Amino acid sequence: MDDESPGEIVAAATADEEVREILRRLDSQPASIAPKYFYDRLGSALFAAICETPEYYPTRTEAVILPVAAAAIRDRLGRGLTLVDLGAGDCRKSDGIMPVLDCARYVAIDISIAFVRDAVAAIEPRHPQVVMTALGRDLSRDWTLDEEEAPGQRLLFYPGSSIGNFTPELAVAFLRRARANAGADGKLLIGVDLVKDRAILEAAYDDRLGVTAAFNRNVLNHLNRIVGTDFDPMRWRHVALFNEALSRIEMHLEACTEHWVAWPGGRRHFDGGERIHTENSYKYTPAGFAEKLERAGWRVSDRWFDENRWFAMFLADAA
Ligand code: AVI
C-alpha cells in the first residue's frame, strides 16, 4: 500500500491544513479517509456498540486474558507500579485491572485532555490508594513523558489491538517511541489481534446487525460537518475484506451508483463500485509481532492467549 493507506494516522494539524489533507486524500486515486475521522461523538458510541456485537470478538477475548496477565505481572513485579495508559479513552480497561495490579500511580493519556480528565475523575473514587494524573498527548506524533509526570517503574499499557490500525512500519515507530518513554526498568503490556480464519475475521468487521456498516458510513457524516462535503451515506455500501497477502482487514465504502460529491471549491465523480479506503486492521502471528517488538528495542518476557489463540497480550521489557 502506498502512503495514502488509511492505516497511517494523519498527524494533528491546523484546521486549514487538516481540511486540505482530507480533501487531497478524497481527490486521490484511490480515495481514502484517515480512520481517526471515525471517532466523532456518534462514531465513538458506534465503536462501543461494535464491541458488544457477537461477531466482534477482540474486546471480549482480551477481557478474559487481561486479569490473568495483570495478576502475573503483580506477582512478578510487586505492587507499586506506575500504570501508564496509552490512549486511555474512558479508562474502562485500567479501571478493571487496577485492583488486581495494585499499582501506586495511574497516568491516563489521551488525545483529548478534557475527555480523559473527566474519565479519570469518574474512576478515581473507586481507587483511593492510587495517585492519578490525566495527560493530553497525540500518540501518533512524537511524544515524551517526563519523570515528574510518571515517576516510578512504568508499565505502559496499550490494549485493544489499536496497534493493528498502524501500518507495520508505523507500528514499529510507535513501539520505539514507547520504548524511549518507558524508563530503564519499564515494561509494556500490549494487546494484539492474531491471524485466524477469514470467515471469523470478516464477520467481526461486518456484523449482521449492521453496526460496523453504520460506523463506517458515519465517517461521511463527520466529513460533511468538518469539510463541507455533501456525501449521502446511504449511497455507499460497507465493504470489509481480509487481504491475506498483507494480513489485514480492509474497510472500504463502495459507491452503490455513479455520482458526484461536492465540497466548497471542488467536486469529484465516483463511478458505481468505486471505493474509498477507510481503515486497515493488521492481524499478526505471535512470532511476527514478537519480531516487531524486538525490532523496536523491547525484549518479550511473557505472552498470554485465549483458548482459541485468537488474541494475545505481550509483556515486554525495556531492559
Ligand atoms: C480501534 N481498532 C482496534 C478497531 C479494530 O478492530 O481495528 C477499530 C474497528 N474498526 C471496525 N471495527 C473495529
Asked whether the bond before 30 is cis by omega within 30 degrees of 0, the reply is yes
Q: Which amino acid is at 141?
A: R
CA dihedral 280, 224, 53, 190 (to 10 degrees): 40
DSSP-based three-state secondary structure for 65 = helix
SS3 content of the chain, % helix, strand, coil (to 5): 40, 25, 35
- Alpha carbon distance, N-terminus to C-terminus of the chain: 34
Q: How much distance in Å is there from the Cα of 152 to the middle of ligand 1?
A: 32
Q: Would you state the pLDDT for residue 226?
A: 95
Paired sense of beta strands 187-193 and 311-317, if any: antiparallel
- Which among 56, 4, 54, 62 is positioned nearest to 33, based on CA atoms? 4
Q: Would the CB of 164 count as within 6 Å of ligand 1? A: yes
Tell the residue nearest (CA) to atom 11 of ligand 1. Answer: 205
Q: Would you state the pLDDT for residue 10?
A: 43
Q: Which residues pair with 237 in a beta bridge?
A: 254
Q: Would the CB of 161 count as within 6 Å of ligand 1? A: yes
Q: Would the CB of 82 count as within 6 Å of ligand 1? A: no
pTM: 0.93
Q: Would the CB of 39 count as within 6 Å of ligand 1? A: no
58, 160 in Cβ contact below 8 A?
Answer: yes
Burial of 307 (0-12, 13-18, 19+ CB in 10 A): exposed
For the CA of 165, the nearest atom of ligand 1 = 7
Q: How much distance in Å is there from the Cα of 246 to the middle of ligand 1?
A: 17
Tell the residue nearest (CA) to atom 3 of ligand 1. Answer: 162
- Which among 213, 252, 218, 231 is positioned nearest to 23, based on CA atoms? 231
CA distance 290 to 23: 37
Distance of CA 10 to the CA centre of its chain: 13
CA distance 32 to 11: 15
Q: Would you state the pLDDT for residue 215?
A: 98
Q: Which three cell numbers stand for residue 70?
A: 495483570
Distance of CA 142 to the CA centre of its chain: 17
For the CA of 281, the nearest atom of ligand 1 = 7
Q: How much distance in Å is there from the Cα of 139 to the middle of ligand 1?
A: 17
Tell the residue nearest (CA) to atom 10 of ligand 1. Answer: 205
Q: Would you state the pLDDT for residue 8?
A: 44
15, 191 in Cβ contact below 8 A?
Answer: no
Q: Would the CB of 281 count as within 6 Å of ligand 1? A: yes
Q: Would the CB of 165 count as within 6 Å of ligand 1? A: yes
- Give average pLDDT by consecutive 10-residue segment, the chain, 319 residues: 43 72 97 93 92 98 98 95 95 96 96 91 97 92 94 97 96 97 96 98 98 98 97 98 98 98 97 98 98 98 98 96
190, 314 in Cβ contact below 8 A?
Answer: yes
50, 212 in Cβ contact below 8 A?
Answer: yes
Tell me which residue has cell 514507547: 178
93, 160 in Cβ contact below 8 A?
Answer: yes
For the CA of 215, the nearest atom of ligand 1 = 11
Q: Would you state the pLDDT for residue 6?
A: 53
